[in-house]
Amino acid sequence: MTLSSQFLPYPKLNDLIQTLQKAGYEVQGPTVQNETIVYDVVTSADDLPWGYQDTQAPAHYAIQKTDVQKAFGFTVPVQSVKPHLFKAQETLFKVTRDSQGKLAFTQNTGEQNPVAILGIRPCDLRAIHIQDRVFMENQYADERYQTRREKLFTIAVNCTDCHSNCFCLSVGGAPKAQSGFDLAMTEISDGFVIESGSNKGKVIVDQLGLSQATEEQINLAQAGIAHACEKQTKTIPDPERVARTLKSASNHPQWNDVARRCLSCGSCTNMCPTCFCHTQLEQASLDGSESEHVREWSSCFGLDHSYTHAGAYRAESKYRYRQWLTHKFSAWQDQFDVGGCVGCGRCITWCPVKIDVTEEINAICDHPDKQAASGEPA
């Protein structure tokens, strides 16, 4: 929050949504569906989860309606922004075959109307920038991702609360969005302290006729963020130390230990806002006249992920868990010059057998020199 921060009272939240709509955006935000909080289209502030809070713990997620009338009283939605930019399934190209057997390839450009997402948590905002490095700021760009990304209008909502699996502070993040947003808001008792982080954000906020935020309002917002910081209890060691330790921990007995619990279900990778692994499938029409080449999320926990004609390189689940964790917390840094984890805690919340990635990392970092017994090589 800066001196230029303004105050958006609750009644003006609708104005923000309408201004974005007039600017051509479809506005999406958190909504309550099937006893969860998920992003969907919102047409007015009434669609937001007013009064709802969530509790998250290992293998536990629940929401409760409370008397606290906040629009963003929950922590992180079930899914991040990932499915909007990197679709769970998307056609890459279509092919038709004519009577002579000639093939015609047509690209799917991923064109769609611009979207504004209201209520992006700071961890999920960081995750967008991390995936940008995979799909855009790379030797090769994915046009579909890039098209959606360039049109995306981001409205971060800073955290004034944490769930019990949050650990963003341990991985270099914070409950407050630092940069890379169009607008950022912090909810206080009767509205939001709001700031713009881009020209396109400023253009929108300038149309709302807001007044400067008072010092008291800014202090309230900062106190809310401080509360989120204080409430966070999960920690892992410094990311650089974790990355270094994992590089020489390929034979650590913890991999055997976690493999006895891990189901290799891939729930963690599906919920992770940065996991980008996917497969490609071919979907041919029944009459054989056309076919679609489709990209679909997949997981390094799948046996087929490392499959070649020589067999699967990571045939055992301990290798697959080691791949996931070591990639996320070590190799990612080498590949993209940024860590792969934002500390949102979803992989802990949604693990059906309560595996807590911070506990696994701490077990390894507390005893980095342990070696698996020769009878059970890791």
Partner 1 sequence: MTQIRDTYLPYEAEVVEMIHDSDEIFTLRLRLTDPIARVQYRFQPGQFNMVYLYGVGDVAISIVNDRDFKAGQFEHTIHRIGHVTTGLQQLKAGDRIGIRGPYGTHWPLAQAKGKDVVVMTGGLGNAPLVAAVESMLNNREYYGKLTVVQGLRDTAGLIYQDKYIRWLKAGIDVRMAATAGEPFGPWQWYQGFVTAAIPEMDLDPANTVVMSVGPEIMMLNVAKSFIEQGVPAQQIYVSLERNMKCAVGHCGHCQLGPEFVCKDGPVYAYDKVAHVLSVKGI
Query: What residue type is assigned to position 238 of the chain?
Result: D
Give min distance, CB of 267 to partner 1, in A: 17
The span from the CA of 115 to the CA of 151, in Å, is 7
Altogether, the residues listed in the chain come to a count of 378
Q: Are 159 and 75 spatial neighbours (Cβ–Cβ below 8 Å)?
A: yes
Closer by beta carbon to partner 1, 67 or else 287: 287
CB of 328 to partner 1, least distance (A): 11
Minimum distance from residue 24 beta carbon to partner 1 (Å):
24
- If the CB atoms of residues 164 and 306 are measured against partner 1, the closer one turns out to be 306
Identify which of residues 69 and 105 has a Cβ nearer to partner 1 in the complex. 105
Could you report how far apart the first and last alpha carbons of the chain are, in Å?
Answer: 48
Q: Classify residue 147 as exposed, middle or buried by CB count within 10 Å of its CB (0-12, 13-18, 19+).
A: middle
Q: Which residues bind partner 1 (CB under 8 A)?
A: 92-93, 95, 97, 101-105, 107, 109, 134-135, 138-143, 146, 250, 276-282, 284, 288, 291, 293, 295, 300, 304-310, 313-316, 318-319, 322-323, 327, 331, 334-335, 377
Contact, 182 vs 155, CB < 8 A? Answer: yes
Taking the complex as a whole, the smallest distance from the CB of residue 327 to partner 1 amounts, in Å, to: 7
CB of 138 to partner 1, least distance (A): 6
Nearest approach, Cβ of residue 341 and partner 1 (Å): 15
Closest distance to partner 1 from the beta carbon of 89 (Å) = 14
CB of 28 to partner 1, least distance (A): 25
DSSP 44: S
Read off the DSSP letter of residue 26: E
Of 109 and 199, which has the nearer Cβ to partner 1?
109
Which helix or strand (DSSP H or E) is residue 290 part of? strand 290-297
In 3-state terms the chain splits into helix, strand, coil percentages (rounded to 5) of 35, 25, 40
Nearer to partner 1 (CB atom), residue 160 or residue 254? 254
How far apart are alpha carbons 361 and 366 in whole angstroms?
Answer: 8
Are 117 and 128 spatial neighbours (Cβ–Cβ below 8 Å)?
A: no
By beta-carbon proximity to partner 1, the closer residue of 86 and 350 is: 86
Scored b (16 or more CB within 10 A) or e, 165-175 reads bbbbbbbebbb
How far apart are CB 94 and partner 1 at their closest, in Å?
10
| DSSP letter (8 states) at residue 172 | T
- Of 52 and 135, CB closest to partner 1: 135
Closer residue to partner 1 (CB): 48 or 300: 300
Please say which residue, 3 or 260, places its beta carbon nearer to partner 1: 260
Tokens of 182: 């169009």
Q: Are 190 and 9 in contact (CB under 8 A)?
A: yes
Q: How far apart are CA 358 and CA 339, in angstroms?
A: 15
Q: Which residue has the tokens 């030797």?
A: 139
What are φ and ψ of residue 35, in 5° steps? 60, 30
- How far apart CA 174 and CA 313 sit, in angstroms, is 37
